[in-house]
Amino acid sequence: MDFFSEKDVIAPCNSGCSFCFLNYADVLGNNYLFKEVSSEEIGYIIKSVHHQVKQFKPNEIIAHADDPYNSLYIIVKGSVVGEIVDFEGKVLRIEELSAPDTIATAFIFGDNNQLPVTVTALEETRLLAIPRQDLLRLFRTHEKVLHNYLNIMANRAQHLSRKIRMLGLQSIRGKLAHYLLEQVKTQRSDQLQLKHSQTQLAEIFGIARPSLARVIRELNEEGIIDTRGKQITIRDSNALSQFLK
């Protein structure tokens, strides 16, 4: 995708405009890239760097895997999903992101700066893009933004390492146990409210939905979990931990 073509640009987005800051001040202020950066400074940054905002419809493909990634995408409205599709058409859902997240932060640099996944809008979505050269100039003039960017990359690397570990678990029980125990840590409760459906979880695990449904049913029957739709109560966390070995 040529992000900086004129197609679907949200006018009057252009060099030096204040439109983007006025319309997206709150979401940019909550973006980790601008953590501990004042709103006045964010306004100056957005006005001083070349950027564009484009909008996408639900289920519209934003960019394909292996497309060149020469601009940093910041989600200012909506949400996206990153997926890998193999030669047999099997979909592996890697990550869901929503405003104010950034997309594929680490892949804008390097010798092979291509997107690792296909990025699709989950709902009406708007992305603000900053070209790589402008991003580099921003790093040189705003050390705090550079520090935040490095933290984002480190956090994403840790997330991907956990993802790889989960995918490396051979059994479906192991994959589900890893996911549920991670949610217990995140939500700080044994009573979980999941944001993913069984279909979405199957895509995350890279398995067939009926296989996942069978394992969930078995764990319910064994008294390890109690499932009510997207609400899951962990009855025996020790039993779940055994599936990780």
71 class by beta-carbon count within 10 Å (0-12 exposed, 13-18 middle, 19+ buried): buried
Q: What percent of the chain has pLDDT over 90?
A: 41
Q: Is the pLDDT of residue 4 over 60?
A: no
DSSP run (H or E) holding 52: strand 52-56
Report yes or no: 242 and 176 within 8 Å, Cβ to Cβ.
Answer: no
What the block records as the tokens of 85 is: 């599709």
In CATH, what number does 169-242 get?
A: 1.10.10.10
Q: What is the pLDDT of residues 195-228, one digit of tens each?
A: 888 888 887 787 888 999 999 999 999 999 999 8
In contact, 109 and 57? CB cutoff 8 Å: no
The number of C-alpha atoms within 13 Å of 47 and in the hemisphere containing its C-beta is 12
pLDDT at 44: 83
Q: How confident is the model at residue 137 (pLDDT cuts 50, 70, 90)?
A: very high
pLDDT of 57: 94
pLDDT at 74: 94
Residue extents of the structural domains in the chain: 19-166, 169-242
Instruction: Give the 3-state secondary structure of residue 49.
Output: coil
Asked whether the whole model's pTM tops 0.75, one would answer no
Q: What is the 3-state secondary structure (H, E, C) of 143-166?
A: HHHHHHHHHHHHHHHHHHHHHHHH
Which residues touch 161 (CB under 8 Å, ≥6 apart)? none
Q: Could you tell me which residues come within 8 angstroms of residue 119 by beta carbon, excluding any fewer than 6 positions away?
A: 61, 62, 63, 73, 80, 81, 82, 103, 104
How far is Cα 187 from Cα 200, in angstroms, rounded to an integer? 19
For residue 165, pLDDT over 80 is answered with no
CATH code that applies to domain 19-166: 2.60.120.10
